[in-house]
Amino acid sequence: MEVTRLLHITLLITLLLYFCQAYNYETYFYKQKKLKYTGYLTSEQALADYVELITYLKSAIDGAKNSTVVAFGGSYGGMLAAWFRMKYPHVVQGAIASSAPILQFTDITPCEDFGKLVTADFSKESPECANVIRNSWAAIDSVTRNEAGLAWLTQAWSLCKPLKTPQDITSLKNYLVNVWTNLAMVDYPYPANFLAPLPAYPIKVVCSHLTEANNDPKPLLEEVFQGLTVYFNYTGDSKCLDINQQADSRLDDYGWDFQACTEMVMPFCYNGVEDFFEPAPWDFKSFAQTCYQTWGVYPRPFMAVHMYGGKDISAASNIVFTNGLLDPWSTGGVLWNVSETVVSLIIPEGAHHLDLRGSNPDDPPSVIQARMIEKTHIQNWIDEYSARYDE
Ligand SMILES: *[C@@H]1O[C@H](CO)[C@@H](O)[C@H](O)[C@H]1NC(C)=O
Ligand SMILES: *[C@@H]1O[C@H](CO)[C@@H](O)[C@H](O)[C@H]1NC(C)=O
Ligand SMILES: *[C@@H]1O[C@H](CO)[C@@H](O)[C@H](O)[C@H]1NC(C)=O
């Protein structure tokens, strides 16, 4: 009798210890607290919120009861717009989904496509430009091997915080990956201020500084800095280069980081040959580990496909997808006409959701044309829906 009790107690203590060890009590509860609110940050919740809002507005605004509702969105917002129409066709009569990478998921879009397109945007200006960036990773490694080199790069690149640890070098490289990627996203034909204040065709301007790929590490990195200046100091107001701020801080990319760790798992990989990045395979296991450490959640790589259908969207209706071919996100976009009413418009000279920006004298004809076709579709949706309420 006594022995059995003792065994039970021992088992209980063992389990308790195991639990504490495995979950690290303190962080576990800290993460639960964070998730109390962040846990609602899902695409399903976002769509359900819109249903509430639209239903309320239709009842609260005089004369709005029978109005046609059209969803507009770019980027993740474009994904939401398309999914909104798919999931709630009785609430929204059509959707304009611009640069919406609803196919940027596991087993649908090859993970290397994105980086290849970023690279193509630069090598289109000059192969030398892409090669400077391709050679910069090794140049950083070779220069930062010792204290003197770390100090040199800190000074040469006007860094806000001195480089000290290997982690700092990783952060620096991540910053560069983001800058080159962002430039490809916002390569607009006129000065704009989306992720950072930038001149017209910023890649052309950056590449005008990246001309000698065979330079020794230090002169090569000095060139790279001239290129970076276009991105982080176009206004001339920057006191130093802050590698922790890769885009306009008002965008608050923590939200996206959480979503990428839950439903929006988008695999990216680089090989350094077909693209100019440091080789990095897609490693789901380590990605998942980082997600757990940061947010206390594990990603669900097939969630979006199960929830929204992946490529199998032929049952949908009334969606216009638009994609600019300069935009690396177009690799995960819908680039074919799915049906009569689910169409895809290609804007060869377009960057990230160019069509949703205001019109500009420097707009290429392809975006003007795309907007006209969008208008025709919207008119059809309105006519179709209004007909229900006519005598
Ligand atoms: C909505 O449509 C119904 C049915 O045709 C009609 O009776 C009603 O007056 C309409 N409401 C508004 C606000 O237009
Ligand atoms: C930013 O540009 C201004 C004007 O050219 C220059 O004075 C300043 O030193 C630059 N800042 C950095 C960090 O390079
Ligand atoms: C889809 O059809 C439209 C005409 O409705 C056409 O303008 C467009 O080029 C087609 N898109 C693709 C990707 O073929």
The predicted-structure confidence for 371-388, as pLDDT tens digits, reads as follows 999 999 999 999 999 998
The 8-class DSSP code of residue 112 comes to T
Tokens representing 170?
A: 């990783």
* Ligand 1 atom nearest to CA at 390: 5
Catalytic residue at 327?
A: yes
* Beta bridge partners of residue 280, listed in sequence order: 270
Answer for the pair 129, 208: CB distance below 8 angstroms, yes or no. no
The sign of the dihedral angle between the CA atoms of 274, 276, 277, 278 is positive
Q: Whose CA is nearest to atom 13 of ligand 3?
A: 336
User: How many angstroms is it from 218 CA to the middle of ligand 2?
Assistant: 20
Catalytic residue at 352?
A: yes
Residue 104 C-beta-side C-alpha neighbours within 13 Å: 26
- How would you list the strands of the sheet with 70-74, edge to edge? 70-74, 94-98, 319-324, 342-347
Catalytic residue at 126?
A: no
| pLDDT band, residue 247 (cuts 50/70/90) | confident
| pLDDT band, residue 39 (cuts 50/70/90) | confident
The 8-class DSSP code of residue 301 comes to T
What's the confidence (pLDDT) of residue 7?
Answer: 47
Best residue among 344, 371, 378 to mutate for probing ligand 3's pocket (most ligand atoms within 8 Å of CB) is: 344
18 pLDDT exceeds 50?
no
Ligand nearest to the CA of 325: 3
User: How many angstroms is it from 155 CA to the middle of ligand 2?
Assistant: 13
**Nearest to residue 328, comparing CAs of 349, 345, 351?**
351
Neighbours of 16 (CB within 10 A): 10
Residue spans of the domains in the chain: they are: 2-58+77-103+310-390, 113-295
| pLDDT band, residue 277 (cuts 50/70/90) | very high
Instruction: Assign 191 to helix, strand or coil.
Output: coil
Given the residues 99, 113, 209, 352, select the one marked as catalytic: 352
Given the residues 43, 75, 99, 330, select the one marked as catalytic: 75
* 287-337 per-position pLDDT tens digit: 999 999 999 999 999 999 999 999 999 999 999 999 999 999 999 999 999
What's the confidence (pLDDT) of residue 249?
Answer: 67
Burial class of residue 231 in the structure, from the number of CB atoms within 10 Å of its CB (0-12 exposed, 13-18 middle, 19+ buried): buried
What's the confidence (pLDDT) of residue 1?
Answer: 44
* Ligand 1 atom nearest to CA at 63: 13
Best residue among 345, 355, 373, 375 to mutate for probing ligand 3's pocket (most ligand atoms within 8 Å of CB) is: 345
Instruction: Tell me how far apart the alpha carbons of residues 354 and 74 are, in angstroms, rounded to a whole number.
Output: 9
Of all residues in the chain, the percent with pLDDT exceeding 70 is 90
Q: Is the distance from the beta carbon of residue 9 to the nearest atom of ligand 2 less than 6 Å?
A: no
What's the confidence (pLDDT) of residue 245?
Answer: 84
**Angle, to 10 degrees, between the axis of helix 217-232 and the axis of helix 147-156?**
40
| Mean pLDDT to the nearest integer, 48-77 | 97
What's the confidence (pLDDT) of residue 60?
Answer: 97
Q: Which residue has the higher pLDDT, 27 or 362?
A: 362
Q: Whose CA is nearest to atom 9 of ligand 2?
A: 239
CATH 1.20.120.980 fits 113-295, yes or no: yes
Q: Is the distance from the beta carbon of residue 156 to the nearest atom of ligand 2 less than 6 Å?
A: no
Q: Whose CA is nearest to atom 12 of ligand 1?
A: 63
What's the confidence (pLDDT) of residue 19?
Answer: 43
Q: Is the distance from the beta carbon of residue 233 to the nearest atom of ligand 2 less than 6 Å?
A: yes
14 pLDDT exceeds 50?
no
**Angle, to 10 degrees, between the axis of helix 2-23 and the axis of helix 25-38?**
60
What's the confidence (pLDDT) of residue 171?
Answer: 96
User: How many angstroms is it from 70 CA to the middle of ligand 1?
Assistant: 19
Q: Which residue has the higher pLDDT, 138 or 19?
A: 138
Given the residues 327, 353, 363, 377, select the one marked as catalytic: 327
Answer for the pair 113, 325: CB distance below 8 angstroms, yes or no. no
Rounded to 5°, angle at Cα 100 from 97 and 106: 145
Q: Is the distance from the beta carbon of residue 380 to the nearest atom of ligand 2 less than 6 Å?
A: no
Q: Whose CA is nearest to atom 4 of ligand 2?
A: 236
Q: Whose CA is nearest to atom 1 of ligand 3?
A: 337
22 pLDDT exceeds 50?
no
CATH superfamily of 2-58+77-103+310-390: Alpha/Beta hydrolase fold, catalytic domain (3.40.50.1820)
| pLDDT band, residue 28 (cuts 50/70/90) | low
Pocket of ligand 1 (CB under 6 A): 63, 65-66, 389
What's the confidence (pLDDT) of residue 21?
Answer: 43
Ligand nearest to the CA of 159: 2
| pLDDT band, residue 32 (cuts 50/70/90) | low
R_g of the chain computed on alpha carbons: 25
Residues 6+ apart with CB under 8 A from 220: 132, 135, 136, 139, 212, 213
97 pLDDT exceeds 50?
yes
